[in-house]
Amino acid sequence: MSFVEYGDTIKDGDTAIVFLGHESMFPVKVQHGTVTQTKYGVIRHSTDLIGKKYGSKVTCSKGGWVFILHPTPELWTMNLPHRTQILYSTDISIITMMLELKPGSIVCESGTGSGSLSHALIRTVAPTGHLYTVEFHQQRAEKAREEFREHGVEHLVTVTNQDVCKNGFGVSNIADAVFLDIPSPWEAIGHAKSALKAEGGRICSFSPCIEQVQRTCLAMEECGFTEINTLEILLRVYNVRTISLQIPDLGKAAEDNSSTGFDSSNPSNQGSPCTNLQQGAVQFKSSVPLKEMVGHTGYLTFATKS
């Protein structure tokens, strides 16, 4: 099983996603002799999972059922264990595009955190690219290495436990892009410039506070970066649902129909406004924004090494 190569069959040791519904799913490590409890009953890994195809509908012990999905970076972002605050798909998508990443790209990242962005970067640069990710916290770095190994992507990533602001990324003049998600990114701009290739590399810094953005932009200018710009991505979700509204009383519709020669039995007149008026209500599809939605996540500052 690999997050960058699709596998057809569930195997012992795989990480799979148990899908109960769009708002309810969780990851599970498949192991012989292990069981997983769900609200629909027990899933026995040896008989219900191993050997089955990804996407299979599995019946639980209480008669309910779930789907078993192959993991992807998108599903992992929604279900990973949080060791830090993570980046979600809205910001991840613009980061991978604005950094101009593609298969074969070399990327430096700090800090690794819970690995949400890391998995997306690895999938984007695979199969010939590489991710160098730096994490200041030792336990988080070790856990990231373990997850990358379990997810079959350890050959595409190098995890380093050090302070990027003091020691840099451990590479020089090879990176196509650098991503910073640290409390004081302005202290790492010089190391980022050293890690980037000689000309044309891109850098992105994620910061939740505008004061951090201001200091980072000043540091980028001092280091000779160009095309500096900051943006913020705000996601607004709409629910599509059926709305039923009463039609206002505009007069005697029946008399108007008779006076104009309207024949409701005529097939050509079926579905006309007059027919709807006699029904008293009309149904239609409408998009309604959520009452509560995610607002500010952070500011993304991009620049290019000249």
* Binding-site positions for S-adenosyl-L-methionine: 114-117, 135, 163, 181
Binding-site sequence positions = 114-117, 135, 163, 181
Residues with Cβ < 8 Å from 141, sequence gap 6 or more?
A: 112, 135, 159, 160, 161
* 188 in Cβ contact with 170 (< 8 Å): no
Please report, for residues 79, 118, 184, 265, the alpha-carbon distance to residue 94 in angstroms, rounded to integers and kept in the order given.
21, 14, 22, 56
* 264 in Cβ contact with 224 (< 8 Å): no
CB burial string 244-282: b at 16+ within 10 A, e below: eeeeeeeeebeeebeeeeeeeeeeeeeeeeeeebeeeee
Please report, for residues 86, 107, 117, 285, the alpha-carbon distance to residue 90 in angstroms, rounded to integers and kept in the order given.
12, 20, 11, 26
Task: Specify the amino acid at residue 225.
Answer: F
Pairing of strands 157-161, 130-135: parallel
Rounded Cα gap, residues 44 and 54, in angstroms:
15
* 134 in Cβ contact with 162 (< 8 Å): yes
Rounded Cα gap, residues 222 and 286, in angstroms:
51
Strand order from edge to edge, sheet including 15-21 = 24-29, 15-21, 65-69, 57-59
Q: What 3-state DSSP class applies to 166?
A: helix
